[in-house]
Amino acid sequence: MDTVKLVDLVKDKRLPGFMQGEAPSYDDMTRCIHCGLCLNQCPTYRVTGNETESPRGRLYLMRAFAEGRISGQSESLQKHLNQCLQCRACESACPSGVKYGHLVELTSAEVAQQTAQKQSRTEKIIRWLVFRQLFPKPNNLRYFALATRFYQRSPIQKINRAVGFLRLPALSKIGLGKLADLEETLLPPISKPLFEPPEEGKVPALTEQKYRVALFSGCVMSIAFAGINEATVRVLTRNHCEVVVPESLNCCGALHVHNGDREYGKEMAIRNIEVFEESERKFGKFDAIIINAAGCGAMLKEYGELLKSDKAMAKRAEAFSEKVKDITEFLASIELNRNFGRINRRITYQDACHLLHGQKIQFPPRALLKAIPGIELVEMKDSDKCCGSAGIYNVTNSELSLQILDEKMENIADARPQCIIVANPGCHLQMKLGVKRAGLQKGLGKPIDVAHIVELLDEAYRAAEI
């Protein structure tokens, strides 16, 4: 019997808990040496002090599940997995290279498959609408965005919040008790207009063209942060880039993979890879695929890992992921156009978890910010700690999320910034919520601003033209 088959037998024997989906390797599942260096890096452990709310505690539960000592029906396993932010700060602290995020994703996917039959009808309908009909289908998402924008700009929203319709007990009885929190804290203001790809599919460089890049315009970024996408295009074209914006992109799949729907996440990844390959055939090879949302960027860079068992897609996925660059990562790697105007502003920078811990990008954003004349960058305490957003975590685990957020806002208050700079839409929304909750002001009764780093760069370029 050859070595490969022997390893496979050992893996199957020792991880019987994975019966339906993709299983991790035995080495990955047992790599933790229980040193505890991850504990104080974990937001939920810092708040609760409970071992089961730490990476080490969750790894113990995941291994017990993998080895068949507890089932996917275990309420303890489900509870503690669901309360993980998946910020991956533990990965940065781990001396043993534990692939914690990968293990959580695989375990969550297996547990979701094993417990699917026990979901309530309401939960099944909501998951079908959100994960299968909304985010994977660009047209449906845009129609939803337009309807939401009408709702937000009409008196209906004010009336609804005044009456409290979404908090009626009847909705809680049918499993919709979180709708009010979803509408108030997670649903962002919809942009007007929405971000649209250029008619010719590309925008030429404003200066001598040195690079051809593609922009992954994203789902939420296109409908709720259209101005950031537009600013990204302007900044890139000022830096010798022809910018291609492919049409028909769907969600990156992070929402699905992080919530146990790994197989459908793979389908979405394949669709996106095919769209970019078609764009390259039409416009020519891309020097980079640019992303301005940290969570999406981490997912796109892991398409190679996600699809490694797909013989038809593995190499294509790896090639795609190798080209993905966060906007800050890309700009810091080229000869930056430093024709900035002066912006006199005191700022602090909040590290996005999936940029710092997921993509290991720490210094490029800071280098770009320091390049702007007049900017005073003040580091807050624990800027590398999660803000508590984590996708839909601030709705599904609102109490823990707000405790984590309140600690973050205390650190921001100590830094006394006029503006908080972010690199991810979830952080953007959470910081705005935090500023409102804490009543933080920059002076004259005005709240502290929150801005994406690319918006500040765009402002600096425009200031030079005045």
- pLDDT single digits (tens) 8-49: 544 445 688 898 878 999 999 999 999 999 999 999 999 999
What domains does the chain contain, in order, with CATH numbers? 3-118 (1.10.1060.10), 121-186 (no CATH), 202-333 (3.40.50), 345-463 (3.40.50)
Helical H segments across 301-397, by residue range: 303-306, 314-323, 327-333, 353-356, 363-370, 393-396
Residues 6 or more apart in contact with residue 21 via CB below 8 angstroms: 106, 109, 110, 113, 262, 263
Burial 330-347 (b: 16+ CB within 10 A, else e): bbbeeeebeebeebebeb
C-alpha 53 chain-centroid distance? 21
Give yes or no for residue 172 having a pLDDT over 60: no
> For residue 244, which amino acid is it?
V
Query: Of 375, 389, 385, 393, which is closest to residue 453 (Cα–Cα)?
Result: 375
pLDDT at position 282 over 70: yes
Asked if the model's pLDDT at residue 346 lies above 60, the reply is yes
Q: If you compute the radius of gyration of the chain from its CA atoms, what whole number of angstroms results? A: 22
Q: What is the pLDDT of residues 134-150, one digit of tens each?
A: 888 889 999 989 998 99
Q: What's 199's DSSP letter?
A: T
Question: pLDDT tens-digit profile of 284-305?
Answer: 999 999 999 999 999 999 999 9
218 has a pLDDT exceeding 70: yes
The tokens describing 74, both together, are 């275990």
Q: Which H or E run contains 419? A: strand 419-422
Amino acid 6: pLDDT: 43
What is residue 116's predicted lDDT score, i.e. its pLDDT? Answer: 81
Alpha-carbon gap, residue 85 to 226, rounded angstroms: 26
pLDDT of residue 396: 79
CA distance 398 to 312: 41
Higher pLDDT, 397 or 241: 241
Angstrom distance (rounded) from CA 145 to CA 149: 6
**Residue count (the chain):** 466
The residues with which 441 forms a beta bridge, in sequence order, are: 447
- pLDDT tier for residue 118 given thresholds of 50, 70 and 90: confident
Residue 267 phi/psi, 5-degree rounding, is -60, -40
168 confidence band (pLDDT: 50, 70, 90)? low
Q: What is the pLDDT of residue 10?
A: 45
Q: Give mean pLDDT, residues 118-129.
A: 80
pLDDT at 324: 98
Q: Span 50-78, mean pLDDT?
A: 93
Q: What percent of the chain has pLDDT over 70?
A: 92
Task: Give the residue, 163 or 347, on which the prediction is more confident.
Answer: 347
In the predicted model, is pLDDT for residue 391 greater than 60? yes
386: three-class secondary structure by DSSP: coil
Neighbouring C-alpha atoms within 13 Å toward the C-beta of 215: 32
From 72, 36, 74, select the one nearest 56 (Cα to Cα): 36
| 3 state SS of 65 | helix
- Report DSSP state, residue 392: T
- For residue 197, the surrounding DSSP H or E stretch is none
Arithmetic mean of pLDDT, 381-397: 86
Per-residue pLDDT, 319: 97
Q: Between 23 and 368, whose confidence is greater?
A: 368
Structure confidence at residue 186 (pLDDT): 62
Output the pLDDT for position 431.
Answer: 94
What pLDDT is stored for residue 170 in this prediction? Answer: 56
Long-range contacts of 26-35 (CB under 8 A, 24+ apart): 28/98, 28/99, 28/102, 28/103, 29/62, 29/63, 29/66, 29/103, 30/63, 31/96, 31/97, 31/98, 31/99, 32/56, 32/59, 32/94, 32/96, 32/98, 33/95, 33/96, 35/95, 35/96
- Arithmetic mean of pLDDT over the chain: 90
Sheet holding 202-203, edge to edge: 202-203, 241-244, 211-215, 288-291, 324-326
Task: Measure the CA–CA gap between 84 and 299, rounded to whole angstroms.
Answer: 17
Predicted confidence at residue 223, as pLDDT, reads 94
Instruction: Please give the residue that has the higher pLDDT: either 164 or 82.
Output: 82
Q: What is the mean pLDDT of residues 249-254?
A: 90
Percent of residues, the chain, with pLDDT higher than 90: 72
Rounded Cα distance between 139 and 458, Å, is: 29
